[in-house]
């Protein structure tokens, strides 16, 4: 799927999960995310994940529910009471507090899950491609780092095996320098070889590019933008004038973006095989717009007020509007798009 279609999906997922605290809608949204996550093949350019996001999400929900139940003593459905005068803990533990904590945990787990699916589904080169043109030198550094990371892990394994053959065993921190120092020195040697190869192939980060990054006008725009941002932020925090702070923040952001645009416009971007925009991408964007519509817009006749549900003071069944539910099914966009593109093949 196209990078911009994935971005639209991510924006819709974040908006939907941030806009509701109704556990029914949250569960529906999370089910959609889980289906997309399971149905999406991992791109080969990613390293295997060091932890399971699903287990992490469950732990997060459990922790949030437990923490809120033990520390927030509001609500009428008392499960049990912690006696004594323990700071923070003593008092009634209520079902409402437990559910409220779990709901917050569900939203947080969903937000993390959406980012995780997005970052795993896209190839690393597509993610690097999102780096703006103004950051061309940094994009090169990032591409080198991403390319060298698996090689570094392999080299670490080789050094460990070579040291083990010599009788080296890992017992404590003192045994780590014989592993780390060859890794560091070997990496620095590789950097030297890489630099020579880049120079030999005409990668010229000298002269012209350095001159580009020393342009005065874009840098002055950056400086003015930063000063406006800082001043606008202080005006907002002080609560002095909301329109003025909005203008200053907007103006500052605009100046910074304009400065970056001016820095980047001299770097042409080319792609060996540019990704094609398919019908499935359009479908995914349309579904993302549907999700944004039912969760953010005050559409007439739609029970969107049930998005913000609170179990306090006494637990009641959360409201559920089937039209909002159908709209949330738009989060399945990548899955449906994938199904269409596979059947087209």
User: Is 46 in a helix, a strand, or coil?
Assistant: coil
Q: Which residues pair with 94 in a beta bridge?
A: 78
Q: Of the two residues 145 and 299, which places its CB atom closer to other proteins in the complex? A: 145
Tell which one of 65, 263, 284, 331 touches other proteins (CB under 8 A): 263
Residues 6+ apart with CB under 8 A from 291: 12, 13, 15, 16, 327, 328, 330, 331
Cα–Cα dist 216/138, whole Å: 20
Report the nearest approach of other proteins to the CB of residue 57 (Å): 13
Tell which one of 119, 247, 302, 335 touches other proteins (CB under 8 A): 119
Tell which one of 223, 244, 297, 299 touches other proteins (CB under 8 A): 223
Q: Which helix (H) or strand (E) holds 91?
A: strand 91-94
Q: Of the two residues 58 and 138, which places its CB atom closer to other proteins in the complex? A: 138
210 binds other proteins (CB under 8 A): yes
233 binds other proteins (CB under 8 A): yes
Cα–Cα dist 307/288, whole Å: 18
Residues 6+ apart with CB under 8 A from 17: 26, 29, 107, 110, 111, 114
Report the nearest approach of other proteins to the CB of residue 22 (Å): 15
Please report, as residue ranges, which positions from 166 to 205 form the binding site for other proteins (by CB under 8 A). 173-174, 176-177, 180-181, 183-185, 187-188, 190-192, 194-195, 198-199, 203, 205
| Helix segments in 3-94, DSSP class H | 3-19, 23-39, 53-71
Tell which one of 11, 63, 92, 226 touches other proteins (CB under 8 A): 226
User: Is 74 in a helix, a strand, or coil?
Assistant: coil
332 to 28, 109, 282: CA distances (angstroms): 11, 17, 14
x/- mask, other proteins, residues 85-114, rule CB under 8 A, reads: --xx---------------x------xx--
Neighbouring CB atoms inside 10 A of 153's CB total 12
Beta carbons of 148 and 85 less than 8 angstroms apart: no
298 binds other proteins (CB under 8 A): no
219 binds other proteins (CB under 8 A): yes
User: Is 88 in a helix, a strand, or coil?
Assistant: coil
What DSSP character marks residue 83?
-
Report the nearest approach of other proteins to the CB of residue 94 (Å): 13
Tell which one of 32, 229, 290, 324 touches other proteins (CB under 8 A): 229
Please report, as residue ranges, which positions from 49 to 78 form the binding site for other proteins (by CB under 8 A). 49-51, 53, 68, 71-72
Q: Please work out the total of residues on this chain that contact other proteins, with binding judged by CB under 8 A.
A: 88
319 to 7, 23, 24, 65, 306: CA distances (angstroms): 30, 10, 8, 21, 6
Please report, as residue ranges, which positions from 6 to 35 form the binding site for other proteins (by CB under 8 A). 18
Tell which one of 143, 247, 315, 336 touches other proteins (CB under 8 A): 143
Taking CB under 8 A as the binding criterion, the range among 219-227, 278-286, 317-325, 330-338 that sits at the site for other proteins is 219-227
Tell which one of 3, 31, 77, 142 touches other proteins (CB under 8 A): 142
x/- mask, other proteins, residues 144-163, rule CB under 8 A, reads: xxxxxx-xxx--x-------
135 binds other proteins (CB under 8 A): yes
93 to 82, 86, 89, 261, 311: CA distances (angstroms): 7, 13, 9, 55, 14
Q: Of the two residues 50 and 300, which places its CB atom closer to other proteins in the complex? A: 50
């Amino acid at each position: 799927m196209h990078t911009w279609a994935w971005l639209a999906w991510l924006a819709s997922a974040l908006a939907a999960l941030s806009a509701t605290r109704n556990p029914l809608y949250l569960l529906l949204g999370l089910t959609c995310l889980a289906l997309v996550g399971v149905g999406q093949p991992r791109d080969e350019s990613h390293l295997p994940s060091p932890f399971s996001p699903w287990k992490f999400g469950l732990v997060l929900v459990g922790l949030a529910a437990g923490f809120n139940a033990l520390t927030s003593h509001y609500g009428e459905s008392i499960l049990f009471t912690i006696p004594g005068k323990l700071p923070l803990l003593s008092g009634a533990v209520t079902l409402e507090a437990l559910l409220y904590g779990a709901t917050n945990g569900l939203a947080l787990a969903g937000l993390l899950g959406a980012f995780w699916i997005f970052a795993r589904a896209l190839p690393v080169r597509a993610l690097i491609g999102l780096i703006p043109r103004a950051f061309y030198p940094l994009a090169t550094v990032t591409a080198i780092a991403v390319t060298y990371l698996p090689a570094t892990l392999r080299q670490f394994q080789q050094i460990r095996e070579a040291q083990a053959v010599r009788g080296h065993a890992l017992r404590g921190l003192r045994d780590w320098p014989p592993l780390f120092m060859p890794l560091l020195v070997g990496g620095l040697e590789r950097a030297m070889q890489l630099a020579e190869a880049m120079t030999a192939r005409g990668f010229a980060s000298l002269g012209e590019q350095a001159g580009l990054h020393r342009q005065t006008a874009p840098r002055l725009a950056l400086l003015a933008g930063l000063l406006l941002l800082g001043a606008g932020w202080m005006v907002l925090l002080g609560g002095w004038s909301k329109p003025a702070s909005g203008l200053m923040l907007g103006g500052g952001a605009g100046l910074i973006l304009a400065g970056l645009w001016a820095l980047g416009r001299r770097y042409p971007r080319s792609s060996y095989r540019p990704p094609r925009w398919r019908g499935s991408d359009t479908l995914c964007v349309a579904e993302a717009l549907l999700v944004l519509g039912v969760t953010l817009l005050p559409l007439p006749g739609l029970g969107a007020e049930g998005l913000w549900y609170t179990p306090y003071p006494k637990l009641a069944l959360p409201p559920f509007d089937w039209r909002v539910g159908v709209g949330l099914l738009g989060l399945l966009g990548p899955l449906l798009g994938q199904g269409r593109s596979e059947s087209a093949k």
